[in-house]
């Protein structure tokens, strides 16, 4: 999964667990960029009586680097406040919630947004309402219209939303973590002495679950430097250094400076490239420190496993792994951006500093939906991953193919990728997601309701 439960410590703290980051030029709002950060993974829609919500004790941030040093030049900070209208009932709502100020809604969240640029910080939104979770047809009728009330226009061309959304990331999690047993290629997988399996369609493990999204749409001019169209994007969550249990009042008390406990840039980096002994450390550091993890990107363990798990299918990849040549292609894609001259009419290079960030060349316009490729740049679509990331991009297939050697000819024209490398997939597409994506902000679909949760 992109970053769902990707490190031992953050897997125990879902409220601060960043699961996906998206960055793309807004297809319906020219001149703006949309940034989305998802938290609180794998939410069961039937989550009552204590429905999911952001943490009041967590500092959520989306960062933008516009000078290539792997450090934030512009950040958007989000702090949440939860209020209970009637503490004498166990119910989340006591009747239908048809507006964000409904007296029937008992436990609600608001949030403040601060924009930090250099040493300057200014509040750009205060007391903004989150929508409730999608409970069911009696409690949250016409949820789409209700959630639309929580899209806030802050002035200066900035729009924000924070609340529950349908999980839009699709992956066959059960197959991938069962020794990389991609269902469409099971007949090629090593059996380890067990009965052989037949190829079958993929299963979307993240279907019918929800996440909490923080989405912000910002004018391009507010994010990039003049003459430098490419920006780097990542998200973090931080907690205060000290937490004490106040037994007298029955609550936690937090104090001290904030310390980063989660971060995410490119999908799957900490998930499948960084080894177990370093995952928690990786989550605590800024992208500018990623040079210390370079070996795990340029000598990825998963690439070495491909020929083992699929005997005889990846002979050229096996030879590449055996040669111990550093994967400069993966270094460029994930840590520096792709320099000009490598791919015709394309670059999202930010400079030599090694930093895991989504890199978005904001001068590349959105691809019309009819011509989009879910394989992004590998599918000839320069507006897709790894040039930023759209909600529909098939990042699992893209990265599987890159790890298998499809991108190595970018730095070695003599290398011939194995035929299977360009076909790797877990068998899923955007059609595998039951909740339709939206054509406008905040783009991720209406969350699944607990009452209508599929059996």
pLDDT at 252: 75
Query: Under DSSP, is residue 36 helix (H, G, I), strand (E, B) or coil?
Result: strand
> What is the mean predicted confidence (pLDDT) over 96-114?
97
pLDDT at 49: 92
Chain segment 30-72, per-residue pLDDT in tens: 899 999 999 999 999 998 899 999 999 999 999 999 999 999 9
| Res 5 pLDDT > 90 | no
Name the token pair of 336: 């520096």
Q: Are 427 and 201 in contact (CB under 8 A)?
A: yes
Fill in the DSSP letter of residue 262.
E
> What are the extents of the domains in the chain?
10-432
| Res 1 pLDDT > 50 | no
Which of these, 68, 53, 66, lies nearest to 16 by C-alpha position?
Answer: 53
Which of these, 301, 209, 235, lies nearest to 10 by C-alpha position?
Answer: 235
Question: What's the CA gap between 31 and 365, in Å, rounded?
Answer: 9
Q: Where are the beta strands (DSSP E) in 323-441?
A: 358-361
pLDDT at 246: 67
pLDDT grade for 453, boundaries at 50, 70 and 90: low
Question: What's the CA gap between 91 and 97, in Å, rounded?
Answer: 13
Chain segment 214-257, per-residue pLDDT in tens: 999 999 999 999 889 999 999 999 998 776 766 776 777 777 89
Instruction: Kindly report the pTM of this predicted structure.
Output: 0.95
Q: Are 43 and 206 in contact (CB under 8 A)?
A: no
pLDDT grade for 3, boundaries at 50, 70 and 90: low
| Res 90 pLDDT > 80 | yes
pLDDT grade for 394, boundaries at 50, 70 and 90: very high
Question: What's the CA gap between 199 and 186, in Å, rounded?
Answer: 5
Chain segment 268-316, per-residue pLDDT in tens: 999 999 999 999 999 999 999 999 999 999 999 999 999 999 999 999 9
């Amino acid at each position: 999964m992109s970053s769902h439960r990707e490190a031992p410590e953050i897997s125990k703290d879902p409220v601060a667990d960043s699961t996906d980051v998206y960055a793309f030029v807004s297809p319906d709002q020219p001149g703006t960029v949309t940034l989305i950060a998802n938290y609180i993974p794998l939410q069961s829609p039937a989550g009552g009586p204590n429905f999911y919500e952001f943490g009041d004790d967590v500092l959520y941030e989306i960062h933008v680097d516009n000078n290539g040093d792997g450090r934030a030049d512009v950040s958007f900070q989000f702090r949440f406040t939860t209020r209970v209208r009637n503490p004498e009932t166990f119910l989340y709502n006591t009747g239908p919630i048809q507006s964000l100020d409904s007296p029937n809604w008992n436990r609600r969240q608001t949030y403040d947004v601060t924009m930090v640029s250099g040493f300057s910080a200014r509040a750009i939104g205060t007391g903004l309402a989150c929508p409730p979770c999608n409970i069911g047809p009696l409690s949250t009728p016409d949820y789409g219209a209700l959630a639309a009330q929580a899209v806030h226009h802050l002035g200066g061309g900035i729009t924000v939303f924070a609340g529950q959304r349908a999980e839009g990331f699709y992956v066959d999690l059960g197959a991938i973590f069962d020794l990389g047993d991609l269902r469409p290629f099971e007949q090629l997988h090593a059996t380890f002495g067990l009965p052989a399996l037949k190829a079958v369609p993929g299963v979307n493990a993240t279907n019918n679950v929800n996440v909490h999204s923080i989405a912000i749409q910002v004018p391009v001019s507010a994010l990039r430097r003049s003459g430098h169209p490419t920006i780097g994007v990542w998200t973090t969550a931080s907690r205060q250094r000290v937490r004490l249990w106040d037994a007298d009042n029955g609550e936690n008390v937090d104090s001290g400076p904030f310390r980063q406990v989660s971060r995410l840039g490119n999908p799957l980096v900490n998930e499948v490239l960084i080894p177990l002994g370093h995952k928690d450390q990786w989550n605590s550091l800024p992208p500018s420190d990623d040079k210390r993890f370079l070996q795990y990107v340029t000598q990825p363990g998963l690439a070495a496993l491909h020929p083992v798990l699929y005997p005889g299918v990846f002979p050229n990849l096996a030879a590449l792994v055996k040669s111990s040549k550093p994967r400069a292609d993966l270094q460029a894609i994930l840590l520096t951006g792709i320099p000009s001259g490598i791919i015709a009419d394309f670059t999202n290079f930010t400079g030599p500093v090694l930093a895991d960030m989504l890199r978005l060349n904001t001068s590349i316009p959105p691809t019309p939906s009819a011509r989009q490729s879910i394989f992004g740049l590998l599918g000839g679509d320069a507006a897709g991953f790894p040039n930023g990331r759209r909600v529909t991009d098939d990042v699992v297939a893209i990265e599987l193919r890159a790890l298998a050697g499809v991108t190595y000819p970018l730095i070695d024209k003599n290398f011939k990728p194995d035929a299977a490398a360009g076909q790797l997939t877990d068998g899923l597409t955007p059609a595998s997601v039951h909740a339709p994506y939206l054509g406008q902000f905040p783009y991720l679909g209406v969350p699944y309701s607990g009452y209508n949760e599929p059996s």
